Chain A
Amino acid sequence: MNYELNDRDLDDLIIASLERKETLDALNGIIVKEVRRKACHEWVRRWARIAVFSFGMPLQLLIFVAGIYVASRLQSFQAFRYVLLIPIITMSYLAWHGMKNFSIADV
């Protein structure tokens, strides 16, 4: 490889290097912004999962218990059946979804 550059080639090379540096500086800024956005997004998702898992289950249990109470007051087996069905299905879904995505390592 010939490193005996004339003045013009040397100047061109310096310019190309400086332009490359500016390109990389701009690119670095974009990359860091994107990574920060992902990190923020992941943080929100992680805590949302924890909140849903921690509060969603007791909330469904509460709805279930409330539903049983209301159904018993109404003295209607039909109502009781529907009330039972909704929280059972919702709880099952939440439990499945929460366990599928939850990981202690993520906390």
Chain B
Amino acid sequence: MEDRELVREIIEKGHTGLFAEFVKRYSGIVYSKALGVVRQDDWAAEVTQSTFVKAYEQLRCWRGQQIGPWLVTIAMHTALHLLEKERVRRAQPVDNIADDIPDTFDNEREEMIQRMESAIRQLPSGEQELINLHYYQHQKTADIARITGLSQQNVLVKLHRIREKLRKELKTAN
């Protein structure tokens, strides 16, 4: 469903549950943009949450084709407002807030994470499950084989192929 249709369903027919579709579609980009401004994961999460809540409250005001740019605009304002609040709280200029907090934000790495996320989303669900078990849940090969019903050798081969596929995707995205 297009953004405009979704908005119409939410406002005119009261299908509030459909707002979750907006959250699913745009939370990644909003979080990423917010992180670029606030440079901290917990602040970026706070900005993202506030952005979508504000968007819901002001959904009737939206006029456009794609809601993404509007959400990003709200996120930027919210992020800057948060930084301003921090500046007042700490009685320091906004630029100097990072002096107290180690700045681990890297624009280039952030972009690569987004590209990798996109590449992983395009994998078949079975392959996504495999890399999730191996990389996120840190399961051993034997356990992955037991869970998926594959042989250990098969698991290793598949993981290797998936990694090469992802590496190729990143190269193509460049």
| Residues of A bordering B, CB below 8 Å | 1, 3-5, 7, 10-11, 13-24, 27-28, 30-32, 34-36, 38-39
Contacts and interface: CB of A to CB of B under 8 A. Distances in A.
Contact of B113 (A13, A31, A34): A13
Contacts of A27: 27, 31, 45, 48-49
B119 to A, nearest CB: 8
11 contacts: A1-B112, A3-B174, A13-B116, A15-B136, A18-B136, A23-B31, A24-B31, A31-B48, A32-B19, A32-B23, A34-B52
Interface stretch (B84-92, B148-156, B164-172): B164-172
A107 B24 CA distance: 28
Contacts of A30: 49
A28 B51 CA distance: 12
Contact of A24 (B20, B27, B131): B27
Interface residues of B, number: 36
Nearest to B57: A38
Contacts of A28: 20, 23-24, 27
A1 B174 contact: yes
B171 A14 contact: no
Interface string B30-51: 0100000000010001001100
B166 A14 contact: yes
Contacts of A5: 167, 170
Contacts of B167: 5, 10
A66 B52 CA distance: 50
B20 A22 contact: no
Contacts of A34: 49, 52-53
A18 B123 CA distance: 13
B135 A14 contact: yes
Contacts of B28: 20, 24
A3 B115 CA distance: 11
